[in-house]
Amino acid sequence: PARPLFAEQLPAGLQTISNIVAVSSCKGGVGKSTVAVNLAYTLADMGARVGIFDADVYGPSLPTMVSPENRLLEMNPEKRTIIPTEYLGVKLVSFGFAGQGRAIMRGPMVSGVINQLLTTTEWGELDYLIIDMPPGTGDIQLTLCQIVPLTAAVIVTTPQKLSFIDVAKGVRMFSKLKVPCVAVVENMCHFDADGKRYYPFGRGSGSQVVQQFGIPHLFDMPIRPTLSASGDSGTPEVVADPQGEASKIFQNLGVCV
């Protein structure tokens, strides 16, 4: 388990959370939300109390990837706090559950919305809050990292050389903020067909990241039609197929964070 945070550093709404883990990527579409959601449900399956905060205001994925019965966040009018919705015991907050359409907002406004959603939520006692970060390393990401003292970061990437350059940016951002990057997930690295293994995007910028930046863990995630289908259907893959290959990968990642 990662180190606990010092309660006095935290905004009031976050004081009962032991570990806050950012799942980050420098580009969209590499599988960041897929990793965040499946990691959260794996940790829950391992017995932890878990919440997911979807910090992507422009394109929230959480409402598609998990399907809670109650799809709207509730307010506590007296305390002026937000009550998260819940699916299979994991607490969920996303702008997509706030009852508004996709956002057209300028950066500072987005930072304000994220800050408010994150810090006025009644998270309760949590072992892990997984933050599905907006892609990139701009102002919104920096502000978010400054609001919450993160325990650790997980970086999601794809195998292309180009991604390596972006990952390096991400690692630098977190290292400036003194947040340890505990793992890199190299997603969509291969698929198996006709008894052969194919590497459609080439091989291994992930191992370069691990060597160059001393990140302790590298996880290869193959292209899996079931992972995509479960994301679209609102049931995380590790919930739909708890004995499956993806579950094993996320269990190992869960042990790391």
> Least distance from C-beta 256 to ligand ADP, angstroms?
18
Which sign does the torsion angle of CA 98, 100, 102, 108 carry?
Answer: negative
Q: Can residue 81 be called a binding residue for ligand ADP (CB under 6 A)?
A: no
Q: Can residue 159 be called a binding residue for ligand ADP (CB under 6 A)?
A: no
Q: Which is nearer to ligand ADP, 17 or 133 (CB)?
A: 133
User: Which one of 17, 21, 22, 30 is in contact with ligand ADP (CB under 6 A)?
Assistant: 30
- Extract the tokens encoding 200: 């459609």
What number of other Cβ atoms are within 10 A of residue 240's Cβ?
Answer: 16
Q: Can residue 34 be called a binding residue for ligand ADP (CB under 6 A)?
A: yes
Q: Can residue 224 be called a binding residue for ligand ADP (CB under 6 A)?
A: yes
Angle at 102 between CA 101 and CA 106, to 5 degrees: 125
> DSSP secondary-structure letter at 187?
E
Q: 3-state SS of 166-185? A: HHHHHHHHHHHCCCCEEEEE
> Least distance from C-beta 31 to ligand ADP, angstroms?
3
- Name the amino acid, one letter, at 203: R
Interacting stretch for ligand ADP, rule CB under 6 A, among 67-75, 90-98, 167-175, 225-233? 225-233
Q: Can residue 257 be called a binding residue for ligand ADP (CB under 6 A)?
A: no
Q: What whole-number distance in Å separates Cα of residue 136 and Cα of residue 115?
A: 18
Q: Can residue 137 be called a binding residue for ligand ADP (CB under 6 A)?
A: no
Q: Can residue 63 be called a binding residue for ligand ADP (CB under 6 A)?
A: no
Q: Which is nearer to ligand ADP, 18 or 235 (CB)?
A: 235
- Pair 187, 35: CB distance under 8 Å: yes
Where on the chain is the footprint of ligand ADP (CB under 6 A)?
25, 28-34, 61, 187-188, 221, 223-224, 227-228, 231
